[in-house]
Amino acid sequence: MCATCGCGDDSAVITLAGERHHDHPHDHSHEHTHVHTETISLEQKVLAKNDLIAEQNRAWLAERDILALNITSSPGAGKTTLLERTIGELASHRPVSVIEGDQETLLDAERIRAAGARAVQVNTGAGCHLDAEMVRRALETLDPKPQSLLFIENVGNLVCPALFDLGEHSKLVVTSVTEGADKPLKYPHMFAAAGLVVLNKIDLMPYVDFDLETFEKLARSINPAAAILPLSATTGEGTAAWHDWIELQANSRMSQRSVDKT
């Protein structure tokens, strides 16, 4: 599935949460080579194809005034918990739907559905990230409402998702205080690609060795433009700023579309 990192077995399955609906992708064939120059050429080809489909996804979303946010993190950082709370607090204001990316199970999609949003599960098999083609097929299955909010919860991984444009308005990276303050240095490409850095689990700050000042300094050394939002998805502390950021992105997208029409 992924020529850039060697993961996957072309077995992604898309399932609408709460319904027995399966969509199997068409077969992809990739050359396998150990020659460095040919590997780079294949990677560029794969990314170019992905970027083309991503632009088609972006146009499809823009036509429907849908704000799409691609949420990335390492496993266990709290993406799904943050989405559950966000759905509960925002779903009364605007429709919310979610594309859930995981290697296996429907567990997260069912959690999202129970929180009050429509969800489609993309199981990537051995694949370590979502790509634009998976998202395209997930959009066809999910069919989110016009003027809605779409979250794309990527597979837990801070490496490959940085490379793959899905057609989203913005990438987010969620990390937590339990993971240490050095994450931006360890995964610079992901932090560099993020429009927002969410620091989750700040309610645990008194119990872990985490230096907030160091984390913010390192994150800004990688990406000076990214906003940094400390919050707790469990207690709700700091989530008002998260909601304000989402609203800002929605207004920015609408303003840009108005400019494009003139």
Q: What is the DSSP letter of 104?
A: S
Residue 145: CATH number of its domain: 3.40.50.300
Please indicate, yes or no, if residue 5 is contained in any of the structural domains. Answer: no
Structurally, how many domains does the chain consist of?
Answer: 1
Please indicate, yes or no, if residue 217 is contained in any of the structural domains. Answer: yes
Q: How does residue 152 score in pLDDT terms, banded at 50, 70 and 90?
A: very high
Q: Higher model confidence: residue 90 or residue 11?
A: 90
pLDDT of residue 10 exceeding 90, the answer is no
Please indicate, yes or no, if residue 3 is contained in any of the structural domains. Answer: no
Weakest mean pLDDT among 15-24, 53-62, 185-194, 209-218: 15-24
**Which pairs from 232-238 meet CB under 8 Å and 24+ separation?**
232/200, 232/201, 232/202, 232/203, 233/78, 233/81, 233/82, 233/84, 233/85, 233/200, 233/201, 234/78, 234/81, 234/201, 234/203, 235/203, 236/85, 237/202, 237/203, 238/202
Please indicate, yes or no, if residue 77 is contained in any of the structural domains. Answer: yes
Please indicate, yes or no, if residue 2 is contained in any of the structural domains. Answer: no
Question: How many Å from the N-terminal Cα to the C-terminal Cα in the chain?
Answer: 41
Please indicate, yes or no, if residue 193 is contained in any of the structural domains. Answer: yes
pLDDT of residue 218 exceeding 90, the answer is yes
Please indicate, yes or no, if residue 60 is contained in any of the structural domains. Answer: yes
Burial of 5 (0-12, 13-18, 19+ CB in 10 A): middle
CA dist list (Å): 87 to 112, 145, 166 = 8, 15, 22
What share of the chain has pLDDT > 70, as a percent? 82
32-58 pLDDT, tens digit each: 444 455 555 656 777 899 999 999 999
Please indicate, yes or no, if residue 8 is contained in any of the structural domains. Answer: no
